[in-house]
């Protein structure tokens, strides 16, 4: 419920956010999504491979006055994800939104990407989507409603100025996964969409990408701010706001498509 007493856009909904922790201090995308869902009235189950990170986000959700649980779960572990869904159902009785906010990659020369690297990245970025859907779909089908959201990246639809081949390819597959799921399950009232994320200023950028820009963090941040036509990187809240919209009934007629949140970058030839 908002400060003015009005109900939030996700009032009494139950949202599962996989990848809801933050890799470092600050507001990662998953953390901001979970808290934004809570601020709009939802109960939130937060899952992350790092239980402490999931718990930190769940505590923030609770501080918003919303029901919350934290679960440590590897997104590629079928048993762990089924346990997450079972616990959510036991705690809250339904699942309205399944948000897959997971993704890993390996920047650098494609020839340095081994088959084992590729399998590991594909499992996290593609197979994990199927695992979570298999666990949640029976409940969504039974209630004849639900939203499946996936966080992808502009690297899935264009080169982003440095080598990131397995990440871009597998995240492109994630977009197609959402499109096809939307058609397969539309008759059950289930929608599926993808948020395509542009160049963001999040804790993960500093931890994982500094080397891809030559190792100078300040130079990397300055370069990234120059790239989008709007003149600055976005942040986790820009993605969270998009997620709230797509998860809500305001987007009831939107399915099988992508919402690009990138400050106009994919409309340009800038790198």
Rounded-to-integer distance, Cα 99 and Cα 41, Å: 16
- Give which of 236, 262, 224 is closest to 26, Cα–Cα: 236
In the chain, which residue ranges form alpha helices assigned H by DSSP?
29-39, 51-63, 78-92, 115-122, 128-143, 165-184, 203-208, 217-226, 236-247
DSSP 76: T
Helices and strands counted in the chain (H then E): 9, 7
Q: Is 253 a catalytic residue?
A: no
Provide CB contacts within 8 A for 116, sequence distance 6+.
Answer: none
Task: Write out the two tokens for 199.
Answer: 């160049």
User: With contact defined as beta carbons under 8 Å apart, do 67 and 117 qualify?
Assistant: no
Catalytic choice (37, 162, 167, 188): 167
Which positions are catalytic?
167
């Amino acid at each position: 419920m908002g400060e003015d007493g009005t109900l939030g856009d996700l009032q009494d909904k139950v949202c599962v956010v996989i990848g809801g922790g933050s890799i470092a201090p600050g507001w990662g995308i998953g953390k901001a999504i979970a808290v934004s869902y809570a601020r709009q009235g939802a109960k939130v189950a937060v899952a992350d491979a790092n239980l402490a990170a999931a718990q930190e986000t769940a505590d923030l959700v609770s501080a918003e006055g919303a029901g919350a649980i934290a679960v440590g779960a590897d997104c590629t572990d079928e048993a762990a994800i089924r346990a997450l869904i079972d616990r959510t159902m036991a705690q809250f009785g339904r699942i309205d939104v399944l948000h897959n906010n997971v993704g890993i990659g390996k920047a650098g020369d494609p020839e340095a990407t081994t088959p084992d690297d590729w399998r590991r990245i594909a499992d996290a970025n593609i197979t994990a989507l199927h695992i979570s859907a298999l666990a949640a779909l029976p409940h969504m089908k039974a209630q004849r409603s639900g939203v499946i959201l996936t966080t992808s990246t502009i690297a899935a639809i264009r080169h982003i100025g440095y080598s990131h081949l397995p990440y871009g390819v597998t995240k492109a597959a994630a977009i197609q996964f959402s499109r096809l799921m939307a058609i397969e399950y539309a008759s059950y009232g289930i929608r599926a969409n993808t948020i395509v994320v542009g160049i963001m200023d999040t804790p993960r950028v500093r931890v994982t990408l500094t080397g891809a820009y030559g190792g100078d963090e300040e130079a990397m941040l300055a370069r990234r701010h120059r790239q989008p036509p709007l003149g600055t990187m976005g942040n986790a809240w820009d993605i969270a706001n998009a997620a709230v919209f797509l998860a809500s009934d305001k987007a009831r007629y939107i399915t099988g498509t992508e919402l690009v949140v990138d400050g106009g970058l994919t409309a340009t030839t800038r790198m």
